[in-house]
Amino acid sequence: MTFQRTGAGAFTEIARVLEVTQDRMGIPHVRFQLQVSRGAVKPTVECRTLALETFYARYKKAL
């Protein structure tokens, strides 16, 4: 699944979910590839991990 978040101006983040796993405490986490675009600047791409609850609070718009 892919999600989008936009900010002020020309700021856009696109998060593509790679996997959902649980840590040793049983807390679900999302590992995702994040593409950050800022206007005409070349987008940056990196992998990140967030707790599932935090991920869904930040990336609400599914594409």
Q: Mean pLDDT per 10-residue run, the chain (63 residues)?
A: 89 96 96 93 95 96 94
Please tell me the distance from the alpha carbon of residue 11 to that of residue 1, in angstroms, as a whole number.
21
Instruction: Assign 56 to helix, strand or coil.
Output: helix
Question: Domain boundaries in the chain?
Answer: 2-62
Is residue 12 within 8 Å of residue 6, measured between CB atoms? yes
Give the pLDDT confidence score for residue 9 in this predicted structure.
Answer: 77
Is residue 29 within 8 Å of residue 49, measured between CB atoms? yes
pTM assigned to the model: 0.88
Residue at token pair 């936009």: 6
